[in-house]
Chain A
Amino acid sequence: MLILGGILVLGIFGVGVYNSLIRRRNRVDQAFSSIEVQLTQRYDLIPKLVETVKQYMGHERTVLEDIVRLRQKAVSATDPSQKIAADNELTRAMGQLNVTLENYPQLKASDTFVQLQRSLNEVEEQLAAARRSYNASVMEYNTAVQTFPNSLIAGSMDFGTRTMFVADDKKRGDVDMRGLFQA
């Protein structure tokens, strides 16, 4: 009787842990999908931005070509870690573009450019929020997976840890885009 009771308690505990891990993993997936939504918006805006600025940029077109290439790479990335890496590269290239654009003050007179830049800033800010949201979910999930006694169930049920979005060293020195809005 005592043994049966013990098994029952362990069973209930195991189901509870399993369900909580599933809930956390789903939250991570949900957070990642909202990053993808923002990334899609960003990918949609980039060609428009490139189209608008290319007529002003003569010999510095390689920056634009890089962006187009990296965008394509990011769009075609399938698994989350590939997407994270491609996104980091693209973000770095966008930073370079912003530095370059500061050399073209005539762009500030273009309503289309200003509107695009505002939309892009909005998407970047939303993207940053989505990444922070994702990282918070991943941290919660990873902590649950790695701590005892959850780790026993997580290990046997194939709950692996997830990768966080971390800004790479080059990205950390990113530019402040507000310079583009100052007259």
Chain B
Amino acid sequence: MSPSPATLDAATRARVQAGCNFVNSEIGRLRKRVTMITIAAVGGAIILWMFMGGGDPRLPVFAALAISAFFANRARLELKKSYKGIVVRRMVAALGKGLSYTAESTMSRATFDDMDLFSERGDRFESEDQVIGKKGEVPYALHEVRVRRKERSSRNRVMFGGGGAQLIAFGIDALGSRSLSRGNFVFSGLVVQLDFNKNFRGHSVVVPDKEAQILGGLFGESERRKSKSIVHLENPDFESMFAVYSSDDQEARYLITPKLMELIMEAQALLGAQLRLCFMSNHLWVTVPQEKDRFDVGLFSGTVTPESVLGDFIEVVALAERLVDTLDLETRIWTKV
């Protein structure tokens, strides 16, 4: 059963509320600090511009924005640490149910690349916020992952590598909401690792069919995917939505039964997101794209309440549990117990 606000008793709720109060006071303090710094930076820029005798205002404006963004980003990181370390941790500990949370994720770049779910490798990999739980007898882990690509300007200059543009981007992110622009992401969302109910040795992936057609047809497939062969399955609806690649076509059919094909389509419709699945190391890995950065709080994103924290947590846990249910992973009638 998913946790719900009703599962918090009065004492626990009071502890979580105390954590929220602390974070809210931190938000107020840091917000004030950033506002003051921004005012000072703008004022300094105007004075600098006047000293320069007018002329091109771009340099002082850029300097003011960069200083403001730098401090906004520092404030954001400070706030994030308090929020995750105090509020989220307390909430998870209060919920019990065998759930555990860490701000750092064990999902590595190598594991993500090994999944072979994305043809584009991306340039920068970030993983954080790991939730571990169990639905029935099925252990699962969720990781928040972002894989960015370098964005090049018209002069072919790398933008995200550093400098003012990055600071401004961070600053805007820190000041604004928790949603992320997906334009620069190869992937941004949750990676759900589920214990699969059958043993297997090979590597099979289920990716959107459109991508397979475009990449396979025009640009060639990724090197890694070339070592797998495409497996055509019997369900025409599934075939029109997904392409399956596997190192062992018979094993792919053993894993992706006609029933599982139906269930994958059902899970995709239920979650309303483009799913990608990987069968690797006796686990099923599912990527679920999401724009929202969970377990994070922005300087101007509103007051933190136990309900808002719990809401985010419930959504994440419910996602993993829904996948276990929809994909019928609790059925253990094969040799893997």
- A interface with B by C-beta (< 8 Å): 31, 34, 117-119, 121-122, 125-126, 128-130, 132-133, 136, 177-178, 180-181
Contact = CB atoms under 8 A, between A and B. Distances in A.
A128 B254 CA distance: 7
Given A125-B257, A132-B234, A136-B232, A119 B335 contact: yes
Interface of A is mostly: helix
B250 A129 contact: yes
Contacts of A126: 250, 254
Contact of A133 (B250, B257, B331): B250
Contacts, number: 42
Interface string B299-337: 000000000000000000000000000000001111101
20 contacts: A34-B250, A117-B333, A118-B334, A118-B337, A121-B334, A122-B334, A125-B198, A125-B254, A125-B257, A126-B250, A126-B254, A128-B253, A128-B254, A129-B253, A129-B254, A132-B253, A133-B249, A133-B250, A178-B331, A181-B332
B251 interface: yes
A128 B234 CA distance: 13
Contacts of A129: 250-251, 253-254, 257
A136 B232 CA distance: 8
Contacts of A125: 198, 254, 257, 334
A118 B335 contact: yes
A181 B250 contact: no
A4 B220 CA distance: 37
Which 4 A-B pairs have CB atoms at the shortest separation, nearest pair first? A129-B254, A129-B253, A133-B250, A122-B334
Contacts of B334: 118, 121-122, 125
A128 B233 CA distance: 13
Interface string B110-121: 000000000000
